[in-house]
Amino acid sequence: MRPFLTPALLALTAVAVGAQARDTLIHGGPIYVEADKPPVAALVIRNGKVAFVGSLAKAKTLAQKPLDIDLKGAAAYPGLVDAHAHLMGIGFRELTLNLEGSASIVELQSRVKAWNQAHPGLDPLSGRGWIETHWPEHRFPTRQDLDAVVGDRPVVLTRADGHALVANSAMLKLAGVSRDTVAPSGGQILKDADGEPTGMLIDNAKSLVTGKIAKPSIAQQKEAAKLATALYASRGWTGMHAVSVAAEDVVILREMAKAGTLPIRVDNFMDLKEADEVLTRGPSREGLVRVDGIKLYMDGALGSRGAALLAPYNDAPGDGLVLTPPEVIAEALARAKKVHAQVAIHAIGDRGNRLVLDAYEKAFADDPAGLSAVRWRIEHAQIVAPQDLPRFAKLGVIASMQPSHAIGDLYFASSRLGPDRLKEGYAWRDLWTSGAHMAAGTDAPVEKGDPLIEFYAATYRHDLKGFAGPDWGLDETLTRPQALAMLTKGSAYAAFHENELGDLKVGKAADISVFSEDLMTAPFADILKTHAVMTIVAGKVVYRAK
C-alpha cells in the first residue's frame, strides 16, 4: 500500500531545509555505520556530516547543545539509494490511472471504465501498471477488451515493464495503425489470426501511438517531481539514480533544490535524445542534483518477449529485439568516453548483455584499464550467459540490478527461457562472488519502489506472500550485509559518490535511513511489515513518520 502523500508530507521538505546550527545526537537503537560491521550506539551530526560514531556516553560529551533524536528501538542505516528508477514515471503513476495489482482483464476493464467516468473528456486516456502473468485469462489484453468499456475515446495502457502497451481501436485509428502498418526497427505490432492488430505494441512500436498523446504541461511535470521525491523520502530513500531523464526534468529538480524543497539526492542519466550537454561538457557532479551520463536501451523486456536472447524463446517464435542500432550505440560511447561521462545501458537478455559487454570492450580496445575507471553500467543484467558473467568483474562494468524483478519474473521466466537457461537469470550471488561491482535499485514505476521489498527479495528470493517455486534459484540469494551494501556502498560507487556516501564514517555526509525494525536480524516476513521512521539527508530530517 503506497503512503498517502498529505499536504503536510509534501511541505515537510520546506521545513527541513532551515539551517542547523546545533549538533544532532542520534541514539536509542542500532546504528549501522557500514553494511558489514556491527552497529554502534550513538552518532553525532555536525554541519551536515557525521562527526562521531560510537558509545552514547562519549557522544553526549562531544555533541554541542544537540537536537536529541531517540530512535526508540528503530534501526538506522547509511542512506539507501535507489540505483535505477524513473523519477517522472513514479510521479505520474500517482497522477494518472494506476493499474498495479489488476488481477484480471475483467478488473482492468473495471478500472478503466471507472476512471473514464470520473475523468470524462475526448483526450486520450492513459494508464500504466498492468501485468498479465497471474491473470486467469493467461493472455495479453486486446483492443476489443478496451473497446468494450471505452469505445469512443482513445485509450493507451502501458504494461508494468514499460516495454509494451495495449491500445483500443480509437487510439489505433487516431495513430493510423492498421493491418498494413510496418513495425519500426526494434518494435513489434502483434496481430491476430486474421492479420489485424490486436492492440499490443512492443518496444519501439509504442511510439506509433504515444506520439499522439499530449505532452504533460510544465505544471504537471513539477507536480510529478514533487510527488515522486516526497514519496521516496517517505519510504526511507535518501537518493535516486534517475534514468532516461529529459533535460527539462533536470531544470525542475534544480529549481526544487534551489528553493529548498528537494528532499533527496538525484543523480541523472539522460535519455540519449536529451544528452547533448553532458556529451559535450561532461558530467556535473555537484549538489543534490547531478548529471552523471547517459542511458540507452539495448533490448526490451522478458515478459513482453523483447529481451534479446542468444537462442529463441522457449514459448514463442523469435529471439527478442535490439532497440538501438549498433552504430548509434558506438557513437554515443565514443562521445561519452571523450568527456568521461558515465554510460548506463539497459540489457535484460543474454544476447543483450553480451552485446553491451562487447560494445564497452570495443570502445576501450586502446585502453582496457580505462573502462573500469569510467564506471560504465549495465542496467538490469538479468539473463547473463555463463561465459559472460566473469566479464563484469574483468572489465570493471557495474551490474545495476533490481532484486524485486526476480520475485515477479520467476513466475513466467521459466516459460520464456526453459529450465536450463533459467539458471542464467538473476545471478546475484554469482556476480557478487565473481568480484563484480553491484548496485541495487527498483526500476520504479515498473516495480513499487520500496527499499524493503528490494532487501527482502535479495536476501530471501520469495514472493511477497512467502512463496518460492522449485526453480527460483534460492542459492543466488545474498546475505543481509551484501544486500545492504548493494543499496548503500554499491549505489554510491555506481555514481562516483563513495567519498561522500555509502557509509556513516566520520566525515561522510549524514544521509541516514531509519526503519521500524532491524533489517539485519528481523524474520523475513517481518521485513515486509516494517516501515520508514525517518529519513535524513545531509543532516536534515526530510521525512518523519507520524
Cα–Cα distance for residue pair 536/513, rounded to 1 Å = 7
Question: How does pLDDT run across 211-232, given as a tens digit for each residue?
Answer: 899 889 999 999 999 999 999 9
pLDDT at 10: 44
DSSP result, 145-200: HHHTT--SS-EEEEETTSSEEEE-HHHHHHHT--TTPPPPTTEEEEE-TTS-EEEE
Which numeric CATH code is attached to 93-210? 3.10.310.70
Question: How does pLDDT run across 442-494, given as a tens digit for each residue?
Answer: 999 999 999 999 999 999 999 999 999 999 999 999 999 999 999 999 999 99
Q: For 1-79+502-546, which CATH class? A: mainly beta
Cα–Cα distance for residue pair 198/200, rounded to 1 Å = 6
Task: Please state whether the predicted TM-score (pTM) of the whole model is above 0.75.
Answer: yes
* Nine cell digits for residue 405: 524483478
Query: Which regions of the chain carry the CATH code 2.30.40.10?
Result: 1-79+502-546
Q: What is the DSSP letter of 320?
A: -
67-93 mean pLDDT: 97
Query: Which regions of the chain carry the CATH code 3.10.310.70?
Result: 93-210
Confidence of residue 16 (pLDDT cuts 50, 70, 90): very low
pLDDT cut 90: percent of the chain above it: 92
Confidence of residue 7 (pLDDT cuts 50, 70, 90): very low
Weakest-pLDDT range from 9-23, 65-79, 166-180: 9-23
Question: How does pLDDT run across 368-416, given as a tens digit for each residue?
Answer: 999 999 999 999 999 999 999 999 999 999 999 999 999 999 999 999 9
* Nine cell digits for residue 93: 503513476
Confidence of residue 6 (pLDDT cuts 50, 70, 90): very low
Contact 390, 432 (CB under 8 A): no
* Nine cell digits for residue 521: 536480524
Please say if the pLDDT value at position 527 is more than 70.
yes
Please say if the pLDDT value at position 364 is more than 80.
yes
pLDDT at 4: 39
Q: How far is CA 378 from CA 7, 62, 296, 298, in A?
A: 38, 44, 10, 10
Question: How does pLDDT run across 219-274, given as a tens digit for each residue?
Answer: 999 999 999 999 999 999 999 999 999 999 999 999 999 999 999 999 999 999 99
pLDDT at 373: 97
CB-based burial label for 38 (10 Å; 0-12, 13-18, 19+): exposed
pLDDT at 12: 44
pLDDT at 214: 87
Task: Give the SS3 label for residue 495.
Answer: coil
The β-bridge relationship of strands 197-203 and 75-78 is: unpaired
Q: For 82-86+218-500, which CATH class? A: alpha beta
pLDDT at 18: 41
